[in-house]
C-alpha cells in the first residue's frame, strides 16, 4: 500500500503536466529580426548570386591552374548578408585586399586573400614549389606587382565574364590595401553581400572573400531575379526537347557560296565590256578559293568538275574568330 500515491501527489502531477502542455502551446513560432543586419537580398537573388559566382569560380580556377601548372580547386563556400563594419572587423591585419570599381555600377568590389596564400601563389608563379609564408607579414611591392600582372588582373576579367548575363560591366583594379581599417569606402552600417570561396592549391586550403555593397547591386536586382528564373528553366530542360531542337538545327538549309576572285575596273571599262571580253581576277589559277556562309569565310577549296557540273574540294578550315586590333 506504500506505493499508492496520495490525492495530493496525484493533483501535483496533474498540475505539472498541464502546465508543461500550456507552456508548449503558448510558445509562438517567431523568428527574431535583427534590425542591425537587415536581409535585403531575397532567397532567389542569393541563389542567383551563387550561380554567378560558381561560374566565376570555374573560370578562375581553370585560369589559375594554367598559370601555376598545378591543380587548383575553387568553389563557393557561403553567401552572407552583413554590414560593412562587421566585414571589416572580420578581416585580419595584414591582408591582401584588392579594390576595384564596377562601371557602370556605383560602389566598389573588394576581393580579400590572406598573405599566406598570396605568397604561395607568388612562389608558384616564380617557379618555386609553392611554399607559404609561415608567418603573417605584408607582401612587398615586387610580390604584389607580380601577383597583379599575373593573377589579379585576370581575376577581374573572370568576374566580368561571370556577370556578363546580368550586366556588361568593366571591372578595374584601383589599388591594393593591407590594413582593413584604412578602408573608408562606405559607412559601417551599409549592407554588403559577402561571398566566401574555398581555394585549394595542392594541400593548402584558404579563402577568397568577395564583398559587394547592396547599393552597388541595387540597379540590377530585377536582372538577378530574372536570371534565377531563366537559369532554372535551362536546368530543367527536357533531354528529348534538346535532341529534337538539335535535329531541327542540323536539318536547316544554308547557302554556301564560292568566290572566284575580284578586280577593280573603271566606269569606262565597265561600260565598254562586250561578250567575249576577258576580265582578269586577283586570284591565281592554283590558289584556293574562299567558301563562304553569308559573309563569313568558313572553308578554303580548290575548283573542280564532277560530271557536267562544277564543284569544289575542301582543302582547309578557316577560323571564324575575329581579332580586334587597337588603333
23-46 pLDDT, tens digit each: 444 555 555 555 555 567 788 888
Strands 170-177 and 72-83 turn out to be unpaired
Mean pLDDT of 195-224: 89
Task: Tell me the sheet residues that pair with 103.
Answer: 170
In the predicted structure, residue 196 carries a pLDDT above the cut 90:
yes
pLDDT number for residue 155: 92
Measured distance CA(302)–CA(284) in Å, rounded: 12
- DSSP codes, 15-47: HHHHHHHHHHHH--------TTS---S-HHHHH
* 152 contacts 173 by C-beta, under 8 angstroms: yes
Which strands make up the sheet holding 309-317, listed edge to edge? Answer: 256-259, 289-293, 296-306, 309-317
Mean pLDDT of 74-99: 91
Mean pLDDT of the chain: 81
C-alpha cell at 70: 598545378
Task: Give the residue from 108, 107, 106, 110 showing the smallest Cα distance to 87.
Answer: 110
C-alpha cell at 300: 578554303
Tell me if the pTM is above 0.85: no
Task: Give the residue from 72, 67, 74 showing the smallest Cα distance to 53.
Answer: 74
pLDDT in tens, 230-266: 555 455 556 776 777 777 778 888 888 888 888 888 9
pLDDT number for residue 231: 54
**Burial class of residue 221, CB neighbours in 10 A (0-12, 13-18, 19+):** middle
Q: Give all strands (DSSP E) within the chain, no chain letters.
A: 72-83, 96-103, 105-113, 170-177, 191-201, 204-213, 256-259, 289-293, 296-306, 309-317
pLDDT number for residue 324: 41
pLDDT number for residue 147: 92
pLDDT number for residue 53: 92
Q: Which residue has the higher pLDDT, 137 or 234?
A: 137
pLDDT number for residue 56: 92
pLDDT number for residue 325: 36
Domain with CATH 3.40.1550.10 in the chain: 43-235
pLDDT in tens, 289-305: 888 887 788 888 888 88
Mean pLDDT of 114-123: 90
Name the class of domain 43-235.
alpha beta
Band of the pLDDT at 17, cuts 50, 70, 90? low
pLDDT number for residue 158: 92
* 216 contacts 105 by C-beta, under 8 angstroms: yes
**Burial class of residue 17, CB neighbours in 10 A (0-12, 13-18, 19+):** exposed
User: What is the chain's length?
Assistant: 327
Measured distance CA(208)–CA(196) in Å, rounded: 6
**Burial class of residue 258, CB neighbours in 10 A (0-12, 13-18, 19+):** middle
SS3 106: strand
Sign of the dihedral through C-alpha 80, 86, 91, 96: positive
DSSP H stretches of helix in 69-152: 84-90, 115-125, 141-147
**Greatest Cα-to-Cα distance within the chain, rounded to the nearest angstrom:** 136
Q: What percentage of the chain reaches a pLDDT higher than 90?
A: 22
Amino acid at each position: 500500500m506504500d506505493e499508492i500515491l496520495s490525492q495530493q501527489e496525484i493533483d501535483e502531477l496533474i498540475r505539472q503536466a498541464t502546465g508543461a502542455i500550456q507552456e508548449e502551446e503558448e510558445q509562438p513560432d517567431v523568428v527574431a529580426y535583427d534590425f542591425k543586419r537587415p536581409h535585403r537580398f531575397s532567397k532567389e537573388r542569393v541563389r542567383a548570386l551563387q550561380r554567378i559566382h560558381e561560374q566565376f569560380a570555374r573560370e578562375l580556377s581553370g585560369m589559375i591552374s594554367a598559370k601555376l601548372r598545378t591543380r587548383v580547386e575553387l568553389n563557393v563556400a557561403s553567401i552572407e548578408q552583413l554590414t560593412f563594419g562587421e566585414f571589416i572587423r572580420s578581416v585580419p591585419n595584414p591582408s591582401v585586399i584588392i579594390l576595384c570599381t564596377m562601371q557602370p555600377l556605383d560602389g566598389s568590389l573588394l576581393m580579400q586573400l590572406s598573405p599566406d596564400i598570396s605568397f604561395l601563389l607568388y612562389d608558384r608563379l616564380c617557379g618555386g614549389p609553392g611554399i607559404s609564408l609561415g608567418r603573417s607579414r605584408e607582401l612587398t611591392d615586387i610580390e604584389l606587382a607580380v601577383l597583379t600582372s599575373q593573377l589579379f588582373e585576370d581575376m577581374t576579367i573572370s568576374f566580368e565574364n561571370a556577370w556578363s548575363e546580368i550586366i556588361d560591366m568593366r571591372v578595374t583594379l584601383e589599388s591594393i590595401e593591407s590594413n582593413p581599417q584604412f578602408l573608408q569606402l562606405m559607412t559601417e552600417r551599409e549592407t554588403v553581400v559577402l561571398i566566401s570561396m574555398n581555394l585549394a592549391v595542392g594541400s593548402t586550403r584558404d579563402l577568397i572573400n568577395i564583398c559587394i555593397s547592396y547599393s552597388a547591386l541595387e540597379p540590377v536586382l530585377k536582372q538577378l531575379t530574372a536570371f534565377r528564373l531563366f537559369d532554372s528553366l535551362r536546368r530543367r530542360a527536357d533531354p528529348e526537347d534538346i535532341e529534337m531542337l538539335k535535329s531541327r538545327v542540323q536539318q536547316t538549309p544554308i547557302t554556301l557560296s564560292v568566290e572566284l576572285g575580284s578586280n577593280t575596273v573603271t566606269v569606262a571599262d565597265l561600260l565598254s565590256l562586250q561578250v567575249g571580253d576577258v576580265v582578269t581576277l586577283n586570284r591565281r589559277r592554283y590558289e584556293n578559293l574562299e567558301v563562304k556562309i553569308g559573309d563569313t569565310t568558313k572553308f578554303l577549296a580548290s575548283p573542280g568538275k564532277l560530271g557536267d557540273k562544277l564543284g569544289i574540294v575542301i582543302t582547309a578550315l578557316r577560323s571564324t574568330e575575329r581579332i580586334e586590333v587597337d588603333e
